[in-house]
């Protein structure tokens, strides 16, 4: 019998979603500081043989936590203790910023979904970088002690709101300069709907010089080649998805993260009454209703690029079966986030146990 659904209903369902997130994350970090995290890491560790090798990195599990939960790398080690094979921090911008006005996070409980218009609230690259260093050191020490692979830390970077589109490339470059020396991999986020004009950067004429500049800067400031991926929206037309894939191949990128949240409300089969959804206002919708489109984009990309790009599938993932379906469809890695809010702290561990049972059959 699972306790968390009852706990969620009693403790969190009535609470402002952003406050609930803050309190829940604080609890995870407190458990880590009190030493409970070490116990949890033994209980939730991915099964032996669950490691995957992607982009030259060893991931303890193919399943990780998507960007948006740990925006500032304040609890990365604590999150990996819950069983995530990697944590993608961010989105981090060149300058710290408070994000959009509150309220900016809304639950669609009947749909196991969330609408957010957070607006890249974060402390900025200069503040986040030393936290990434500390997390990497702490994780390396634990890996040496346990003999298990170190969880991977990805860094997702985006545009500072006050920076104009004409200066966006340099803004991404400034974040790259600070964070690339420490990131296991980098993701360029041009697909959030919550920063005005950001999705215009997905247009090929804007995207090509931006990605080329980030690649060049990452190579300049590091002695190793940091894997670079681009995160795309589910709302792109299929032909444009393929055009972005061709661009990624042409520029020598390592992969694509597919997909971000959607601005769509129609055609998702939402159970929440339309007037309630409309009242929540603008923002990106994530969670179970996004699953079908996310899987479509994954299959479209894999058919087009073969094994030439790493594909990280995110959107609408809840169960181990969902994760295995993405892996079978060609995902190199799978990420989740929204279901974490509904499934509770042992969600990643259940996914890992389920993958251990499904993987032989899946192969």
67 is in an annotated binding site: yes
* CATH, range 4-362: 3.20.20.70
pLDDT at 363: 45
Could you list the beta-strand ranges (E) of 270-359: 284-287, 310-314, 333-336
287 is in an annotated binding site: yes
Other beta carbons within 10 angstroms of residue 209's beta carbon come to 11
pLDDT at 197: 82
Parse the chain into domains and list their residue ranges.
4-362
122 is in an annotated binding site: no
Residue 190's nearest CA partner among 296, 67, 97, 289 is: 67
Backbone angles phi, psi at 57, to 5 degrees: -115, 145
Residue 100 has pLDDT above 50, yes or no: yes
**b/e 128-138 (16+ beta carbons within 10 angstroms → b):** bbebbeebbeb
261 is in an annotated binding site: yes
pLDDT at 112: 96
CA distances from 49 to 83, 137, 227, 360 (A): 14, 24, 24, 11
pLDDT at 48: 55
Asked if 138 is an active-site residue, the reply is no
Reduce the DSSP state of residue 238 to 3 states and report it: helix
More confident residue, 32 or 88: 88
Residue 210's nearest CA partner among 226, 187, 194, 233 is: 187
Reduce the DSSP state of residue 269 to 3 states and report it: coil
Catalytic residue among 192, 286, 313, 332: 192
More confident residue, 361 or 25: 25
More confident residue, 10 or 260: 260
HEC-encoded secondary structure of 50-106: CCEEECCEEECCCEEECCCCCCCCCCHHHHHCCCCCEEEEEEECCCCECCCCCCCEE
Confidence bin at 9 (pLDDT 50/70/90): confident
69 is in an annotated binding site: yes
pLDDT at 43: 63
For residues 234 and 256, give the distance between their C-alpha atoms in angstroms, rounded to a whole number.
12
Over residues 277-334, the pLDDT tens digits come to 999 999 999 999 999 999 999 999 999 999 999 999 999 999 999 999 999 999 999 9
Over residues 35-64, the pLDDT tens digits come to 776 666 666 666 555 899 999 999 999 999
In this structure, are residues 156 and 192 in contact, taking their beta carbons and an 8 Å threshold? no
- What's the chain's Rg over C-alpha atoms? 19
Over residues 142-172, the pLDDT tens digits come to 999 989 999 999 999 999 999 999 999 999 9
In this structure, are residues 260 and 320 in contact, taking their beta carbons and an 8 Å threshold? no
Residue 361 has pLDDT above 50, yes or no: no
Residue 19's nearest CA partner among 112, 108, 106 is: 106
pLDDT at 22: 95
């Amino acid at each position: 019998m699972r306790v968390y659904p009852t706990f969620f209903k009693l403790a969190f369902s009535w609470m402002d979603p952003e406050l609930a997130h803050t309190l829940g994350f604080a609890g995870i970090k407190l458990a880590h500081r009190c030493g409970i995290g070490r116990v949890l890491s033994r209980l939730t560790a991915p099964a032996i043989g669950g490691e995957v090798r992607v982009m030259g990195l060893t991931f303890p599990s193919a399943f990780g936590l998507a960007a948006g939960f740990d925006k500032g790398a304040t609890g990365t080690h604590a999150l990996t203790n819950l069983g995530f094979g990697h944590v993608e921090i961010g989105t981090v911008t060149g300058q710290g910023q408070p994000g959009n006005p509150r309220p900016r996070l809304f639950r669609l409980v009947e749909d196991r979904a969330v609408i957010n218009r957070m607006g890249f609230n974060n402390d900025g690259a200069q503040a986040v970088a030393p936290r990434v260093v500390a997390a990497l050191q702490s994780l390396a020490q634990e890996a040496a002690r346990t003999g298990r692979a170190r969880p991977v830390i990805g860094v997702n970077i985006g545009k500072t709101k006050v920076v104009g589109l004409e200066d966006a490339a340099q803004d991404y470059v400034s974040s790259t300069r600070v964070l690339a020396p420490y990131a296991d991999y980098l993701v360029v986020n041009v697909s959030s709907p919550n920063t005005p004009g950001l999705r215009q950067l997905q247009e090929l004429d804007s995207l090509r010089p931006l990605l080329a500049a980030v690649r060049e800067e990452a190579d300049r400031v590091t002695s190793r080649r940091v894997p670079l991926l681009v995160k795309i929206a589910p709302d792109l037309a299929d032909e444009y998805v393929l055009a972005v894939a061709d661009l990624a191949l042409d520029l020598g990128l390592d992969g694509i993260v597919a997909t971000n949240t959607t601005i769509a409300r129609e055609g998702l089969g939402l159970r929440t009454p339309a007037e309630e959804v409309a009242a929540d206002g603008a923002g990106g919708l994530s969670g179970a209703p996004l699953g079908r489109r996310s899987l479509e984009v994954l299959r479209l990309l894999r058919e087009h690029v073969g094994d030439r790009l790493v594909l990280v599938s995110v959107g609408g993932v809840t169960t181990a079966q969902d994760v295995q379906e993405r892996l079978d469809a060609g995902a190199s890695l799978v990420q989740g986030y929204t279901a974490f809010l509904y499934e509770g702290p042992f969600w990643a561990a259940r996914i890992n146990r389920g993958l251990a049972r499904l993987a032989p059959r899946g192969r």
